[in-house]
Structure 1
Amino acid sequence: MRPEPLRPHDPVRLGSYELVGRLGEGGMGTVYLAKTAAGTQVAVKVVRADLSPDDEFRRRFRSEVARARQVPPFCTAEVLDADPDADHPYLVVEYVDGPTLAQVVDDRGPLTAANLHSVAIGVATALTAIHGAGVIHRDLKPRNVLLAPGTPKVIDFGIARAVGSTATGNTAPEFMMGTVAYMAPERFGDAEVPLTAAADIFAWGGVVMYAGTGRTPFGGDSPPATAGRILTQEPDLSGLPDPLRELVAYALRKNPAERPSARELLDLLVAGPSRPAATAAALAGQPDLRAAASQAQSVTGVLTAPAPGTPAGLGQPVATGEPPVPEGPTVPVSAVPGLVEPDRPDGRRRRWFLPAAILVLILAVVAGTMMIVFGSPADPTAGPAGTTPATTSAPAPAPPAGPVLITDDLDKNRLWLAKTEPDGRSSCVFTGGELHVRIVARPLYKCRGPQDTLPEDLTIDVGVRLLTDGACAAVWYHFKLPHGGRLVRICQDNIFVGTHQSAEVTVTRTLPLDNPIAVGGPPTRIGLHVTGETVTVTRDGVSLGDAPLGNVEIMGNRVLLGVFLDRDTPDTGSAEVAFDHIEVRGPSAPGPR
């Protein structure tokens, strides 16, 4: 996808990013192709000038960017950076050089069976990652799916919308003709009812239908006609191959509580008992897609197998790492005899009606098309942590470790030392057989540790407890003053892997925790196994996943322990964590990096 030249009024630099071309415009602003100081291409979305003075927009933009940055990069365009406090707030995401699904289908027709299954798996993988981080996409459609080399990429998720947006995400003037076709029925309901992840699942069904047939399941010749069919009619899935047709029908159920979760869709696509040959062929030909799906499954739990004789994915309870999708608002549908919900547990049925207000709302959507352009096809950018699954896969063994280089029980001054700052706002003290690290109205603090020269490949194992809400335990490695080092933050719901240089903290991988760390609970053993350009993170001996070290130049070799305030906690708050018994080992076998 070729960028257009910059226009005379366009900026040429934002922060440390050099802008080199225009990639498109959308409801939130303009998208530029940019280069980092290292020459890496990225996409930068710059907020429209009329939105910049809006304090409420900035607050929502800041909050949603923070959450979107926690989304693991499984079939998504990764959020890399943002500055919500700049004169013109901007968002930096991974640049994906590939056509949109809409462009491919428009130019070449529906996808072949193997490619269709690849898209179905890729989008389900992306939604598993997005929902697992507590984010809702809110505008999934073919134009927001890029067919990049390796895996499909879902873009433009979870970030504050433009004119008319609300926190609910329900129908507003910005939703235009191309978007209405992928909107769930509940989005035409009460604007005060919060949007749930089930709306993205409905959109998944529409996207897969479009990819496989070139048309949407509720096609109409106008937005009101399309919306009316979404509210009152069953989807037309003719031409879609089995068993995808069954899964798409499952995703397009009127009642949001009856749709599967993203994780359930992913399990049924890649590991269901009736997995089609096309799915196996799609995975066999795309190892990156297989790896992304496997990683998404590894951090969100495992599907319970359907009971014998029951169609895959229909009516089966699912144990997942995602929060259960709450039932959304009922969508009234009138003048449709016989359109009712399934029997409720109390034996009653609930009939759906379509009041005139809904039609007025739909007409407002049409009126909005004359005033707002939601986005151009050239835009190439892109619930709380899960509950404990009822069934889990066999734990991956912890990576092997080599000889012990450092060991300390952290119960008294030895290799790590006690210290309290003169202002009393930061301290490292030994109490109860642990090293307690505490901060007040500060973002972070590091305890003084050993000066040993450690190898680049090493294994760190340490006990961690979180003692206050909003506290994250921090382990630095490859550290050197004053340059900084690599950083792993262990928080209640997630573990963040990245770097810390000067005041800049970056994240290369977010590992959601299916079983959150209880504040004040017993110690959990955190392991970091660094080999080559990868670090493997374990919890109580079970692998949580791998993360790249990144291409940032790190020159140090020390290990430090400390505390971080969670990004959602005000800087005026306090945080306290505890560590016990740390062990640092060398590589299990010598070898070149």
Structure 2
Amino acid sequence: MSNGLRPGDPARLGAYEVLDRLGDGGMGSVFLARSPQERLVAVKVVRSEFSHDEEFRGRFRSEVNRARQVPPFCTAEVLDADPDHDPPYLVVEYVEGPSLAQVIRERGPLGAAQVHSIAVGVATALTAIHGAGVIHRDLKPANVLVAPGGIKVIDFGIARAFEVTSQHTRTNQVVGTVSYMAPERFDTTSGHPVGPAADIFAWGAVVAHAATGRNPFGGDSPTATAMRILTQPPDLTGLGGALRELVSRALEKDPAARPTARELLDGLLTAADRGGAARPVQLLGETPTVALLPAAGGGGQGRPPMPPGLSAAGHGGSGRRGWLAGLSAISAVIVLLALAFVFVPKLLNGGSKPDPTGSTAAGSPGPTGSAATASTPTPSSGTPTRSPSAGGDPTQAILAGQRRILLHVVEIDRDLSLPSDGELGTGDGTGKDALFVLEPVGVDYMIKSVNPEIAHRPCLGVKLDAKENKLLVGTDCRPTAATLFAISREAKDDKGRTSYVITNDEYGVVQWSPTRKHIYLEFLGDAPIDTTFSLVDRGAV
């Protein structure tokens, strides 16, 4: 939707000529712009108050690079980003089409075939982003575009840079829309980490809204809505058949009881085979895709008037004209894409998921899915499970928690050790206190000592000392903000082994202090990474 430029809006952002304002949201504004190559782009500009927060800039840069790792078949292209600009901005491919919220507002609830298409399209998108270790965190009808080429989910991932920035966590603020937030987003005492299961909950609320025109937990106020999400069952009146069962499972209070995005796809395709949704009989000659777009703003990208002299090549052209018929026809191709996405990797790779660290074997890096390299490691969190590859890949076995390992500190040629007193140190890697195992928790890990002398507090966790320094120590093995770590591939050590960065989303990057001789954590922002780790295989658990 075109909102027109306002006084004070920028005329240019870097090399991009600003043409129109597309929308506003809690995180910033989205503008239609023209690139030096005469291409239409969407530029998301971050709110100015974040400009001087170095921690936010580091998070923003990290999340931009993570967004680039989502498989390209389901992503609108990330073209550019400047975290150092005042204010920071992100440039992505411009996608034409109304949002699902706009469609429902103008036309009311959708028919069964259209709802099924929305459900399949969004589930396919979530399968892709969760597979890349990304969480949307703000899925809602305004972030689902009904584009001429298919359903496109926008505005994912970047919200994380805002939510985990310290100035927000200290005031207990969260990023998102209350009506589509999972219970664990509100109840921080539950012990459930906010992971991909929160997106599954939002998927259920979005599909229910598409079918009924209302939110299944709608209350008179955000507080009342939050209480209903926490304590009441969803109101799914008007939603029937197999889709109702899937939506009901997605809206479970316990994140562990919800299906994964891939399981949603399986269920949706099975429902289609049983005749659970209307089947299109003709394709309209379009090239439908399911795409993710990491842009932001309250109303999505929308569809402003086309600037003179520019075409809408690559965006479909016709906008909302005939979208109901197109959506029915598109659903067939979406189902085919979903089938390929679900089953082809299983046939080729024996059913294994990609290694989130980007390595294909111990000591050898694999494809990262992105030409960009983050200056800070990419944190992650979530709840999908991993399985080791069928080919006996030792790295996959390590990541699946099936191998004992040394955590070798590359820069000092020493290994982490956790003696029975629980104070983490370094040694030569020969003692039993140097052996660890990775315990997958979604796309993150708990790092557990296998020292038989440690009966309590065997997992690594973050401890704040009296001076607020963040130290790595032994602690209880419970998935919390202090015990979950992302492990992302960095480079190679001097022995040719793949080295990794270990990051805690809440407290920062695991670092070695050569002066104090201890392990600590900090957010690096634009600073280089000083400490990396090799995962040295030491046999089966």
TM-score (norm 2): 0.56
Q: Quote the RMSD (CA, aligned, Å).
A: 4.0
Q: CA deviation at 1:141?
A: 0.6
Name the counterpart of 2:44.
45
Q: 1:289 aligned to 315, 334, 337, which one?
A: 334
Q: Distance in 1 between matches of 2:135 and 2:152?
A: 16
Deviations 1:176-201, CA, capped at 9 Å, x for gaps:
7xx21111111111278631110100
8 Å CA contact 2:109–2:209 kept in 1: the answer is yes
Which stretch shows the higher mean deviation, 207-216 or 286-295?
A: 286-295
8 Å contact kept, 1:105–1:214: yes
Separation in 2, partners of 1:119, 1:170: 37
Deviates further, 29-38 or 160-169: 160-169
- Alpha-carbon contact 2:184-2:193 (below 8 Å) kept: no
For residues 3-25 of structure 1, the C-alpha deviation after alignment (integer angstroms, 9 at most, x for no partner) is 523x3422222233222111112
Counterpart of 2:95 in structure 1 is: 96
Which whole-Å CA distance do the structure 1 matches of 2:203 and 2:122 have between them? Answer: 7
CA distance in structure 2 between the aligned counterparts of 1:322 and 1:198, rounded to whole angstroms: 17
Could you tell me whether the CA contact under 8 Å between 1:118 and 1:283 is conserved in 2? yes
* 2:302 equivalent to 1:257: no
Contact 1:218 1:236 in 2 (8 A): yes
- 2:70–2:369 Cα contact (<8 Å) kept: no
C-alpha deviation, 1:77, in angstroms: 3.7
Partner of 2:510: none
Matches within 5 A, 1:124-273: 124-160=123-159, 165-166=164-165, 172-173=172-173, 179-190=177-188, 194-271=193-270
**Secondary structure, in 3 states, of the residue corresponding to 1:146?**
strand
- What code does the residue aligned with 1:293 have? A
Pick closer, same or farther for the CA change 1:185–1:238 going to 2, 3 Å. same
C-alpha contact 1:77 1:93 (8 A) present in aligned 2: yes
Is the 1:145–1:154 Cα contact (8 Å) retained in structure 2?
Answer: yes
SS in 2 for 1:264: helix
The amino acid of 2:8's aligned partner reads H
Contact 1:141 1:182 in 2 (8 A): yes
Question: Residues 300-324 of structure 1: CA distance to partner in whole angstroms, max 9, x if unpaired?
Answer: 648xxxxxxxxxxxxxxxx97669x
- Within 5 Å, which residues of 2 pair with 1:34-73? 34-73=33-72
The alpha-carbon deviation at position 568 of structure 1 amounts to 8.3
SS at match of 1:91: strand
Q: Give the distance between the partners of 1:231 and 1:499, measured in 2 at CA.
A: 40
Contact 1:69 1:80 in 2 (8 A): no
The answer for the alignment partner of 1:82 in structure 2 is 81
2:31 corresponding residue in structure 1: 32
Tell which structure's C-alpha radius of gyration is larger. Answer: 1
Instruction: Go from structure 1 to structure 2 and tell me whether the alpha carbon gap of 1:258 and 1:149 turns closer, same or farther (over 3 Å shift).
Output: same
CA distance in 1, matches of 2:44, 2:71: 20
Runs of 5+ consecutive residues of structure 2 not aligned to the other structure: 281-326, 374-385, 397-489, 493-497, 502-527, 535-541
Given the superposition, is the C-alpha separation of residues 277 and 184 from structure 1 closer, same or farther in structure 2, using an over 3 Å criterion?
closer
Residue in 1 that maps onto 2:467: none
CA contact (8 A) 2:3 2:21 kept: yes
Counterpart of 2:123, as a letter, is: A
Deviation at 1:39, TM superposition (A): 1.8
C-alpha distance in 2 between matches for 1:142 and 1:209? 10
Q: Structure 1 residue 35: deviation in Å?
A: 1.8
CA gap 1:384/1:95 in 2 versus in 1, 3 angstroms: same
Q: Tell me the CA shift for residue 118 of structure 1.
A: 0.6
The 5-angstrom pairing of residues 544-559 of structure 1 reads none
1:44-103 CA deviation, whole Å, 9 max, x = no partner? 111122101101101111111111111124555443322222332211122111111111
Which residue of the partner structure matches residue 433 of structure 2? Answer: none
CA contact (8 A) 2:137 2:156 kept: yes
Pair 1:160–1:202, CA change in 2 (3 A): closer
SS at match of 2:58: helix
CA displacement at 1:275 relative to structure 2: 3.7
SS in 1 for 2:118: helix
Q: Is the 8 A contact 1:146 1:153 kept in 2?
A: yes
Query: What does 1:457-472 align with in structure 2 at a 5 Å threshold?
Result: 468=363, 472=365
Decide whether the 8 Å contact of 2:241 with 2:276 is kept in 1. no
Q: Give the number of the structure with larger relative contact order, counting CA–CA contacts within 8 Å between residues 6 or more apart.
A: 2
| 1:44/1:92 contact within 8 Å kept | yes
Find the aligned partners of 1:29 and 1:567 in 2 and give their Cα distance.
36
Match for residue 292 of structure 2? none
Separation in 2, partners of 1:567, 1:214: 50
Shift of residue 287 of structure 1? 5.3
Shift of 1:280: 3.8
Q: Which runs of 5+ in 1 are unaligned?
A: 303-318, 324-382, 387-463, 473-489, 501-512, 522-562, 577-593
Question: Equivalents in 1 of 2:251, 2:174: separation in Å?
Answer: 23
| Change over 3 Å in CA distance of 1:519–1:12 after alignment to 2 | farther
* 1:239 aligned counterpart, secondary structure: coil
Using the alignment, how far apart are the partners of 1:165 and 1:140 within structure 2? 17
**1:72–1:78 contact (8 Å) kept in structure 2:** no
2:137 touches 2:160 (CA, 8 Å); kept in 1? no
Compute the TM-score of the two structures, normalised by the length of structure 1. 0.51
Report the identity percentage: 55
Q: C-alpha offsets along residues 399-419 of structure 1, whole Å, 9 cap, x if unaligned?
A: xxxxxxxxxxxxxxxxxxxxx
**Higher deviation after alignment, 192-201 or 34-43:** 192-201
* Alpha-carbon distance, 1:261 to partner: 0.2
| Number of aligned residues | 347
Note closer, same or farther for the CA distance 1:143–1:130 as it changes in structure 2 (3 Å cut).
same
Q: Deviations over 1:462-496 (max 9, x none)?
A: xx98674xx64xxxxxxxxxxxxxxxxx43xx445
Distance 2:67 2:49 in 1: 23
CA distance in 1, matches of 2:102, 2:268: 25
For the 8 Å contact 1:131–1:197, the answer to whether it is kept is yes
Pair 279,196 (structure 1): closer, same or farther in 2 beyond 3 Å: farther
SS, match of residue 50 in structure 1: helix
Displacement of 1:293: 2.0
Paired residue for 2:121? Answer: 122
Question: Are the aligned partners of 2:139 and 2:202 in contact in 1 as well (CA < 8 Å)?
Answer: yes
Paired position in structure 2 for 1:2: 2
Q: 1:274 Cα shift?
A: 5.5
